[in-house]
A = this chain, B = another copy of it.
Amino acid sequence: MDVFEAIKERRSYRSFLPEEISEKTIEKILEAAIWAPSPLNTQPWEFIVVTKKDVKGKIFSEAERCIKWSLEKSGWKWLENYQANFLQSAPVIIAVIGDPKKTGVDMFLEEGGVGYQHACAAAIQNMHLAAHALGLGSLWFTFFDKKAMREILGIDPNKTPLAIVCLGKPSGEPIQTRRKDMKEKTTYIR
Contacts and interface: CB of A to CB of B under 8 A. Distances in A.
Interface of A: 1-8, 10, 12, 27-28, 30-37, 39, 41, 43, 45-52, 55, 70, 73-74, 76, 79, 104-106, 108, 114-115, 117-122, 124-126, 128-130, 133, 140, 142-143, 153, 162-163, 177-180, 182-183, 185-190
A52 to B, nearest CB: 5
A56 to B, nearest CB: 9
A110 B30 CA distance: 32
B46 A187 contact: yes
Nearest to A133: B3
B185 A46 contact: yes
Instruction: State the number of copies, please.
Output: 2
Contact of A47 (B10, B117, B121, B186): B186
B117 A118 contact: yes
Contacts of A187: 46-49
A42 B170 CA distance: 24
Given A4-B32, A118-B162, 9 more contacts: A7-B129, A8-B31, A45-B185, A47-B185, A47-B186, A104-B142, A118-B118, A118-B124, A122-B128
Nearest to A78: B40
Nearest to A67: B105
A45, A50, A187, most chain B CB atoms within 10 A:
A187
A74 B74 CA distance: 41
22 contacts: A1-B2, A3-B5, A3-B129, A7-B35, A7-B126, A8-B35, A10-B35, A12-B37, A34-B185, A43-B179, A46-B187, A48-B186, A48-B188, A49-B188, A50-B190, A52-B190, A55-B189, A74-B108, A105-B143, A115-B142, A125-B126, A129-B129
